[in-house]
Structure 1
Amino acid sequence: MDCPTKLYYTRKPEYENSADTDSFLEQLAQGGFQVEELARMEHPRSIALIGDDYDYQKLADETRKLLTQDEVKIFEPAFLFNGLFIRVDILVKKGNKVRLLEVKAKSVSRERHESYLNSKGNKLQGGIDHYLYDVAFQKYVMQSCYPELEISSFLKLVNKDAVTSVDGLHQSFKVVADSNLRTGIEKREGLTKEDLGDSILCEVNIDAEVDLILNQNPIDEALSFEEMLNLFRSHYREDRKLFIGIGGHCKGCEFKSEPASKKKSGFHECWAEELKLPVSAIDEPKIYDVWYNPAKKLIEEGKYFMKEISEEDFTVKPEAGKLSRSERQWLQIEKTVQDDNSPYFDLENLRAELASWKFPLNFIDFETTAVALPFFKDMRPYEQLAFQFSHHIVHEDGRVEHFNEYLNTEPGEYPNFDFIRALKKSLTSNDGNVFRYHNHENTIVNVIYDQLRNSAEPDKEELLQFIETISHNTSRNAKSWKGERDMIDLQKTVVKYYYDPGTGGSNSIKAVLPAVLHSSSYLLEKYQKPLSEIDVSSKNFDPDHIFLRMENGKAVSPYKALPPVFENWDSDKLEEITESIPEIADGGAALFAYQKLQFPDLSAPEREAINLALLRYCELDTLAMVMIYEYFREVCYF
């Protein structure tokens, strides 16, 4: 469904393939493996089919033997039909009736969900087409093997309306980075179905959706579902490339290798085949790399590179008082094509913005976690926990103070209300402006606002009032407010008044900071000195710590100098993966750290090391905001 051409590169070790690692980390991050283990617990006395994943016939034969029983429940039964092979997550058979259950960590409102079909019943909706096609393929293969069976299809999902009735549900399914188990999950010893309390999972019947796919194949109405499978199968079996052409779908190709890699690059082979160009030309900046990808139509017209975009292809629509989206996009295109690495500023409006800010300036950053299986009783799946913040203050004389921080990772301690109390104490120490970077902090205080309203906390009214002063309500809150100290989004300041080609079009703080450091003589001079010499205080770094080091004449991002939170997992990769998952966006390494720290059996040295790593990363997040501000101040006034 993603790209049939990838069938040619699959399972060929000579080709680069990042999908295996990424998909495993994504499953861990989203809680997919934990949900899978929980789902199995809800089906006791089932038989798990275990064996070599690639011994297809043996697995299928073992499944056939089990299906001779009148009633049976099987985990991962296998079905093989004319070169098509599937394994079902959970199968429940009674007589000739079979329930096919596909387990996913995606959440659904069981109370409000009606269908993944549109009102006419002729199109899929809900953004889970790949899940639905997955189940349709399973049913097709199973029905082909056993025409006599009556198969009903279900998604077993996380019910966002459910509330867990037990403490420690999440801790019952431990994530183990170096586990030899397929899922990387170890269940608590002696765990029973009764220990799990009320179910937080639900089963959604998708027979209508599966029937639509099997009968009409809505993603390609030129081919029936069976014809599509036969097309894929024949090309895969004969090792022929099913080339569908290049385009925007190539952007995230997992079969793309870097020039230094010893592995082949399927991405480059496809582009060379289509365009008849050498590899060096293929690596030219692409149209789909433009911020917010404004030129999908151009790709359809056969233009693939930024240098092919002309002013006739692109309409720039200015907006008063700031850079419009189209202006930023055109800046990116122009500077990329002209190999112009200089930053751009809307100085007049940036100066006006900075002049409106009230000192002292307060920069804050939160670390939170949202997991499928809740840590605490009475919590919903994917409900946010705020367990850490950092708070830097920039005084009017330029002094930078790491004023405060909060971290609560103690096993079994619900952190949210103590978190907001600590934040209130920290931010009410002055009446200056408060800054966040992007939407996360405003979203989180709105979540805690809702949790407080439904609580019996003795100080909840004053905590609610505090939240109202530093935020604005989101759509989920019925009450409307905009506080007098509503947090200023520094990312919006970046987007409205500044563009640097070094960011590659990204406005994330991890992309903006290196670009700022590369351009700022003030920051380069200041942060290459020890903390003790530059009037910057720190709660987690020694006075002789130097935040900025040079490598081959370039400033190295301070984040690169920090050791990873976990040796087993790459922090940048975790950040990238979690940003793409709506339920846990802004998770990153902190999400895994909090999970690990909730297990009481963690050794004291390891607990201390993870806590220190978290404190340093969070402090650096707010110091990075300070550095961006200092750069803007330098450009505007020095």
Structure 2
Amino acid sequence: MRVLSKSLFKLGLECPNKLYFTNDKTFANKKSEDTFLQSLAEGGFQVEELARLHYENGVFIDAESFEYNKPVDLTNKALLKDNVIIYEGAFSVNDYYVRCDIIEKKGNKIRLIEVKAKSFNPTDDYLFIGKNGKLVSGWKPYLFDLAFQKKVVQMAFPSYEVEAYLMMADKTKKASIDGLNQLFRVPKNGNPRTEIVKRVTKIEEIGKSVLSEINVDSIINSILENKFSYYENLNFSEAMLLFREAYKQKKYLNWPLKFSNCKACEFKTSEEEKQQGLKSGFEHCFKKQLNWSDADFKRPNAMEIWNYRGGNLIEENRLFLDDLTEDDLKVTPIANKISPSERQWIQVEKARTADASVYVEKEGLKAEMERWIFPLHFIDFETSTVALPFTVDRHPYEQVAFQFSHHVYHEDGTIEHRTEFISNTPGEFPNFIFARALKEALIHDDGSIFRFATHENSILNAIIQQLKNSSEADKEELISFLKTITVSKKDSAESWDGDRKMIDLNVIVKDYYYNPYTKGSNSIKAVLPASLNSSEFLKKKYENCLEKINVSSKNFSGNHIWLSIKNNEIINPYKMLPPLYEGWDIEEIEDTVSEIENIADGGSALTAYAKLQYEDMTEKERGEITAGLLKYCELDTLAMVMIYEHLKELTI
């Protein structure tokens, strides 16, 4: 049965062409493998369960996602009552279909409550509609989703008066108890919508909720009246009709391609997926609309260019790098550095000529590195933000810093994995312990400190604010230290610029170094393997075990080797991180409660920390997850050391 659901309506708003590819298992879909999205989804199920406590004794419409008639019939039966609360109520009319998070019916009035794990500030006068009178872009998907639900409910029951609300995490509220997050446990190998383990039955058991409702009915009505459009050439009513017919008929809409949408399209295939027989929706569009051949997809194109917005290249059918000129990128040089536009043009030129050599602004990089003070400190943090806080007195999505790794590079070339920190105790707010451990790790010399990207600076800014609001006895001492290694954020009420502020190695890479193996990406996950591919020094060094090359480690044995080559290609070290539960019996693995198989990226790390909050986890499983987190974080700081060594090699 092909009906237009609310999730399909939202997908159509992203790009109408996606309706042709979705729910077709012959097309690859990268979102299904995204660990960060999976973590967000778990948080959404938890928020939904808490929201139901606000409306207790509701009728849950229990039906599988592929069933349509059953949930509609159950909902219609429940609506026969004068007053009723319904969870997951289903409505269907004219091949439109929605399941609504919470329905509150009193007489002929329905309150339609859409629950989102997104956070909001209720004091923001321009939350949904900006000062320009237009919908704030970040809220448009949520508001149009709710408008679709309201329209379908009204069509199904025209005699009812329907009012639309959002229920979300309220930034102005705090958790009243420890362990709020763990009161709503997403099941292992179960349906998170129907089998979530709820350890409370009444809202009073958690004190004050961190969720709030907000009435958005007037905005929803404006959308339904076509006063706000998602696309300039497509109003709400037209979108409903167009998307329904396209999905029902499995029709490719040939919607005009948009550079940013296509660049981020999830319907792309890797070479491995192609060998498995999966098709690419991305390629389907470009073959249909731009007449690309199979060979064209192997040619470098403008979507690979770092931080490039695309201009009118799609409309002009000039996406291949051979078609571009310096004017397209508005190349503007900067003395002794690589300007952003120069970086883009370097990428274009090297891709055109299949030049795999590194480009380095040698003199500028050398001058920068000569200012660095030994010993060099490389740090990386692992952090978490969740809608339902882990500990009392914390706001939704308040930063939690639960881990860091710290490598030291000495002037004689010795590499020391000096310190690390991890909090794996359920119910412990780690940030102030984290700050003390970081202070102790860094105060013993004046060596330069390195981070990779802005995350660490942002986290320490957040901890400074948390310390200000705390009653910690040493808070002034900690704040003073943290300010020496950070710079204040732009929106901070107070301004500072630490005399030992962390140096952003990511900025150093952007300013002085371009490696074609990164394909435009500047993430550490791309720069590390690219550096290993390009550096003879790194290859010769790291083909040996850690003990032989004088690199200490707190989590890997002295005979561990980080450089591995398969089919003449260097394997990304992040893919060499060991899976969890190696050597465990099958029965032991089946008894675990975390449902985590490996930790090799930020999404799986924050999920792992959330699972560590389970009080009933065995010490053996807790130790295994902790060990996995420590190994992952250690690789992050060792990766920074390797990148530094590569940059140093290039300045000699």
Shift in alpha-carbon separation, 1:569–1:137, aligned structure 2, 3 A: farther
Alignment correspondent of 2:249: 238
Alignment correspondent of 2:185: 174
Residues 163-185 of structure 1: per-residue CA shift (max 9 Å, x gap) = 11111101112234x32113497
TM-score (norm 2): 0.91
Equivalent residue runs for 1:584-603 within 5 Å: 587-603=602-618
* Aligned pair partner of 2:87 in 68, 75, 79: 75
Residues 488-510 of structure 1: per-residue CA shift (max 9 Å, x gap) = 11111100000001111111111
* Aligned pair partner of 1:195 in 199, 205, 209: 205
Q: Does the alignment pair 1:211 with 2:226?
A: no
Shift of 1:302: 2.5
Alignment correspondent of 2:329: 314
Shift of 1:420: 0.8
How far apart, CA to CA, are the structure 2 residues paired with 1:429 and 1:23?
Answer: 38
Q: CA RMSD in A?
A: 2.0
**Contact preservation (8 Å) 2:31, 2:37:** no
Q: Does the alignment pair 1:229 with 2:240?
A: yes
Q: Does the alignment pair 1:553 with 2:568?
A: yes
Equivalent residue runs for 1:539-618 within 5 Å: 539-564=554-579, 568=596, 571=599, 575=601, 587-618=602-633
- Identity, % of aligned positions: 46
How far apart, CA to CA, are the structure 1 residues paired with 2:335 and 2:370?
Answer: 18
**Contact preservation (8 Å) 2:119, 2:171:** yes
Residues 347-398 of structure 1: per-residue CA shift (max 9 Å, x gap) = 0000101111111111111111111110110001111111111111111111
Question: Which residue identity lines up with residue 157 of structure 1 in the other structure?
Answer: M
Shift of 1:124: 1.2
Q: Does the alignment pair 1:301 with 2:316?
A: yes
**Contact preservation (8 Å) 2:230, 2:236:** no
- The answer to which of 5-14 and 435-444 deviates more is 5-14
Shift in alpha-carbon separation, 1:465–1:397, aligned structure 2, 3 A: same
* Aligned pair partner of 2:152 in 141, 166, 175: 141
SS, match of residue 623 in structure 2: helix
Q: Does the alignment pair 1:356 with 2:371?
A: yes
Shift of 1:21: 4.9
Question: Which residue identity lines up with residue 322 of structure 2 in the other structure?
Answer: K
Count the aligned residue pairs: 622
**Contact preservation (8 Å) 1:33, 1:185:** no
Residues 511-548 of structure 1: per-residue CA shift (max 9 Å, x gap) = 00001011111111111111111111111111111121
Structure 1: 5+ residue runs without aligned partners? 576-586
SS, match of residue 300 in structure 1: coil
**Contact preservation (8 Å) 1:29, 1:592:** no
TM-score (norm 1): 0.93
Residues 216-243 of structure 1: per-residue CA shift (max 9 Å, x gap) = 2512454542233222222322232211
Shift of 1:422: 0.9
Shift of 1:120: 6.1
**Contact preservation (8 Å) 1:165, 1:197:** yes
How far apart, CA to CA, are the structure 1 residues paired with 2:190 and 2:265?
Answer: 28
**Contact preservation (8 Å) 1:179, 1:185:** no
Alignment correspondent of 1:583: none
Alignment correspondent of 2:453: 438
**Contact preservation (8 Å) 1:175, 1:184:** no
Alignment correspondent of 1:620: 635
How far apart, CA to CA, are the structure 1 residues paired with 2:369 and 2:235?
Answer: 60
Shift of 1:567: 7.0
**Contact preservation (8 Å) 1:30, 1:105:** no
Q: Does the alignment pair 1:95 with 2:110?
A: no
Shift in alpha-carbon separation, 1:207–1:119, aligned structure 2, 3 A: farther
How far apart, CA to CA, are the structure 1 residues paired with 2:160 and 2:398?
Answer: 40
SS, match of residue 296 in structure 1: coil
Question: Which residue identity lines up with residue 413 of structure 2 in the other structure?
Answer: G
Shift in alpha-carbon separation, 1:190–1:100, aligned structure 2, 3 A: closer
Shift of 1:419: 0.9
**Contact preservation (8 Å) 2:39, 2:607:** no
Question: Which residue identity lines up with residue 180 of structure 1 in the other structure?
Answer: G
Alignment correspondent of 1:62: 74
Question: Which residue identity lines up with residue 362 of structure 1 in the other structure?
Answer: H
* Aligned pair partner of 1:500 in 494, 500, 515: 515
Alignment correspondent of 2:339: 324
How far apart, CA to CA, are the structure 2 residues paired with 1:20 and 1:615?
Answer: 26
Alignment correspondent of 2:96: 84
Alignment correspondent of 1:257: 269
How far apart, CA to CA, are the structure 2 residues paired with 1:100 and 1:445?
Answer: 40
Structure 2: 5+ residue runs without aligned partners? 1-12, 581-593
**Contact preservation (8 Å) 1:159, 1:200:** yes
Alignment correspondent of 1:517: 532
Q: Does the alignment pair 1:423 with 2:435?
A: no
**Contact preservation (8 Å) 2:183, 2:200:** no
